Amino acid sequence: MLLLVRSDASREAELLALRHENQMLRRQLGVLPRWGRADRLWFAALSRLIRRRRWAEVFPVTPATILCWHRDLVARKWTFTDRRCPGRPCACRPVKALIVRMARENPTWGHRRIQGELARLGFRIAASTVWEILHGAGIDPAPRRAGPSWRQFLTAQAHAIIACDFLVVGTILLKRLYVLVFIEHGSRRLHLAGVTAHPTGAWTLQQARNLAMDLGERIAGLRFLIHDRDPLLTIAFREVFTAEGLRIVTTLPRTPRMNAICERVTGTLRRELLDRILILSERHLALVLREYLIHYNGHRPHQARHQRPPDTATQSARDVAELNDLRTVCRRPVVAGMISEYHHAA
Distance CA 196, CA 124 (A): 67
pLDDT tier at 281 (50, 70, 90 boundaries)?
very high
Average pLDDT, whole number, for the chain?
A: 83
Distance CA 113, CA 110 (A): 5
Distance CA 125, CA 269 (A): 53
pLDDT tier at 60 (50, 70, 90 boundaries)?
low
* Phi, psi dihedral angles at 221 (to 5 degrees): -85, -5
| Collapsed DSSP state (helix, strand, coil) of residue 72 | helix
pLDDT 10s digits, 148-183? 666 677 778 899 999 999 999 999 999 999 999 999
Window from 104-113, 257-266, 273-282 with minimum mean pLDDT: 104-113
Window from 108-112, 227-231, 266-270, 322-326 with minimum mean pLDDT: 322-326
Closest CA to 18 of 28, 29, 30, 10: 10
Window from 101-115, 133-147, 258-272, 290-304 with minimum mean pLDDT: 133-147
Distance CA 182, CA 146 (A): 34
> What count of other Cβ atoms lies within 10 Å of the Cβ of residue 193?
19
Window from 137-141, 189-193, 233-237 with minimum mean pLDDT: 137-141
Q: Is the pLDDT of residue 202 over 90?
A: yes
Write down the pLDDT at residue 190: 96
Write down the pLDDT at residue 7: 67
pLDDT tier at 88 (50, 70, 90 boundaries)?
low
Rounded mean pLDDT of 304-322? Answer: 78
Write down the pLDDT at residue 323: 65
Write down the pLDDT at residue 63: 66
Distance CA 277, CA 271 (A): 10
Window from 58-72, 234-248, 282-296 with minimum mean pLDDT: 58-72
- Kindly state the DSSP code that residue 174 receives in the 8-state scheme: S
Write down the pLDDT at residue 179: 97
Q: Is the pLDDT of residue 124 over 90?
A: no
Q: Is the pLDDT of residue 341 over 80?
A: yes
Distance CA 334, CA 325 (A): 24
Closest CA to 147 of 114, 182, 108, 175: 108
Closest CA to 286 of 205, 197, 200: 197
Distance CA 102, CA 308 (A): 27
Distance CA 218, CA 161 (A): 12
